[in-house]
């Protein structure tokens, strides 16, 4: 029924976590690796489910800075002749209500240059949008946070591995607050969840009441016709 679909949508949010590896840090540098994972987050159940993903390499029009290559290990030979599947990327981006990146300030400027349509989507930063140091973590860097939470990936500083590791990190619960880090990042407080549940209950009771009244009226109508 339509009202049920509306209630379910109210409790779910669809986002995309992305990560890039680039030729360097300057304005003229370009993306050479791009990973994008679409997920659905159920606010009431506080569960995250991956629903789509994409990963690709891209040959840039400029050289790869030696310092950048030392971090991500991607040489020019590895990306030579490679192109991103723009249609797939845009299809996934079009389904996202918001985007997340770890150090979003960095990734955002590169992604918006390549895909200008992302300028109209809300961005969240999992590095600065969560108070990691107040929670007792020495670093807010992704690799260290994953290590602190016992999350292992095959290759550090590679786009897809970092995205999947970051999502696993966000799905974990803050020990003190008892809610996933993703809820904190999105600004979903426990009272908001409770209010939404109460709203759903109120609507359900209202609809149930309407149905009961309708059934009573139909029964009365049948009884009247039976007497006549």
Kindly list the domain boundaries of the chain, sorted by start residue: 2-188, 192-228
Closest CA to 61 of 10, 101, 114, 109: 114
pLDDT exceeds 90 at position 96:
yes
Residue 92's contacts (CB-CB under 8 Å, 6 or more residues apart) are 16, 36, 38, 52, 53, 54
Q: Which two tokens stand for residue 135?
A: 């929670």
- pLDDT: which is higher, 10 or 210: 210
What length is written for the chain? Answer: 228
- pTM of the full predicted structure? 0.78
- Condensed to tens digits (0 to 9), the pLDDT of residues 165-175 reads 999 999 999 98
- CA–CA gap between residue 213 and residue 140 (Å, rounded): 57
50 neighbors 37 (Cβ within 8 angstroms): yes
The single residue listed with the structure tokens 């300057």 is 26
Looking at residue 66, its pLDDT comes to: 97
* Measured CA angle at 41 (ends 36, 42), to 5 deg: 165
- pLDDT: which is higher, 22 or 176: 22
Q: Is 23 exposed, middle or buried (0-12, 13-18, 19+ CB in 10 A)?
A: buried
Rama region for 136: left / alpha / beta (φ>0; ψ in -120 to 50; rest): left
The single residue listed with the structure tokens 């299809």 is 91
What CATH number was assigned to the domain covering residues 2-188? 3.30.420.10
- Condensed to tens digits (0 to 9), the pLDDT of residues 49-74 reads 999 999 999 999 999 999 999 999 99
- Averaged confidence pLDDT in the chain: 85
Beta-bridge mates of residue 41: 13, 48
SS (H, E, C) the chain: CHHHHHHHHHCEEEEEEEEEEECCCCCCCCEEEEEEEEEEEECCCCEEEEEEEEEEECCCCCCCCHHHHHHHCCCHHHHCCCCCCHHHHHHHHCCCCEEEECCHHHHHHHHHHHCHHHHHCEEEECCCCCCCHHHCCCCCCHHHHHHHCCCCCCCCCCHHHHHHHHHHHHHCECCCCCCEHHHHHHCCCHHHHHHHHHHHHHHHHHHHHHHHHHHHHHHHHHHHHHHC
pLDDT exceeds 70 at position 211:
no
């Amino acid at each position: 029924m339509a009202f049920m679909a509306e209630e379910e949508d109210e409790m779910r949010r669809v986002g995309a976590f992305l990560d890039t590896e680039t030729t360097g840090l300057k304005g003229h540098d370009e993306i050479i690796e791009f990973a994008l994972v679409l997920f659905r987050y159920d606010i009431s159940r506080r569960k995250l489910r991956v629903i789509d993903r994409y990963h690709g390499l891209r040959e840039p029009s400029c050289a790869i800075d030696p310092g950048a290559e030392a971090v991500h290990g991607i040489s020019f030979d590895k990306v030579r002749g490679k192109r991103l599947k723009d249609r797939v990327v845009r299809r996934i981006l079009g389904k996202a209500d918001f985007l997340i990146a770890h150090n979003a300030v960095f990734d955002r400027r590169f992604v918006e240059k390549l895909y200008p349509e992302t300028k109209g989507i809300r961005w969240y930063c999992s590095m600065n949008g969560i108070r990691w140091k107040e929670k007792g973590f020495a670093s807010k860097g992704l690799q260290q946070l994953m290590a602190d939470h016992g999350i292992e990936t095959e290759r550090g500083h590679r786009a897809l591995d970092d995205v999947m590791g970051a999502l696993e990190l966000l799905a974990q619960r803050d020990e003190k607050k008892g809610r996933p880090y993703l809820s904190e990042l999105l600004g979903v407080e426990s009272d908001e969840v409770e209010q939404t549940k109460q709203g759903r209950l109120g609507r359900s009771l209202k609809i149930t009441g309407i149905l009961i009244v309708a059934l009573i009226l139909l029964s009365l109508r049948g009884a009247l016709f039976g007497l006549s």
